Amino acid sequence: MNNNDIFKKLRIAFDMKDTDIIETLQLADFQITKSELSALFRNKDHRNYKLCGDQLLRNFLEGLIVREQNNRK
32 backbone φψ class: left, alpha, beta (φ>0; ψ -120 to 50)? beta
Q: Output the pLDDT for position 71.
A: 85
**3-class SS string, 9-29:** HHHHHCCCCHHHHHHHHHHCC
Cα 61 to Cα 48: distance, rounded to the nearest angstrom:
24
Domain, as residue range, for 17: 3-72
Q: Domain total for the chain?
A: 1
| Predicted confidence (pLDDT) per residue in 20-29, tens digit | 999 999 999 9
The average pLDDT across 41-50 equals: 95
